[in-house]
Amino acid sequence: MMKKYLFLLMLWPAMLMYAQEKSFADETAMRRMTDEVAQLFLKNEIGQAFETMKTYWPMPEVELSSLETQTVKLMTLLKARIGDPVDYVFLREKRLKDVAVQYVYLLRYEKHALRLRFYFYNNGQYWMLNTFKWDDMFTNEFDRCETGG
């Protein structure tokens, strides 16, 4: 019996190190959150963008913190190349039935655009943020759009 309690005591801190505190009530809430993150990213409020995502993202705090730090550094380096922010555009939604959804945004700057991709997963009970990626490869979106897109 003592071993069981010892195991649970050791497991407890590990469970607390994950960031996710909430799930999404519906897909409208998912879009609201991604719009907010896109706006924060555009304003270079990276810390606040990650704070917003973290409550819905079942990722260890250490990994989230590292990703945020890398993003802040890269955005600082990119500033001269991309210029000042202009606006953001929601490009598309892709679905894998009722299991997963992808939202893609472009952040427009004076000289270049950045792409944000959010992936959500439904475990059968609720939606959660599963993956977030950003890059400067917006030209890859031409492979996915129709002529005149």
Tokens 């005591």 -> residue: 9
Q: Is 149 domain-assigned? A: no
pTM above 0.75, yes or no: yes
For residue range 35-75, list pLDDT tens digits in order: 999 999 999 999 999 999 999 999 899 999 999 999 999 99
Q: How far apart are CA 48 and CA 68, in angstroms?
A: 10
Q: What is the CATH number of the domain that holds 108?
A: 3.10.450
Q: Is 80 domain-assigned? A: yes
Query: Residue 47's domain spans which residues?
Result: 2-144
Of 22, 96, 13, 101, whose CA–CA distance to 57 is shortest? Answer: 22
Asked whether 91 and 113 are in contact (CB, 8 A), the reply is no
Residue 97: which residues within 8 A CB-CB, separation 6 or more? Answer: none
For residue range 94-133, list pLDDT tens digits in order: 999 999 999 999 999 999 999 999 999 999 999 999 999 9
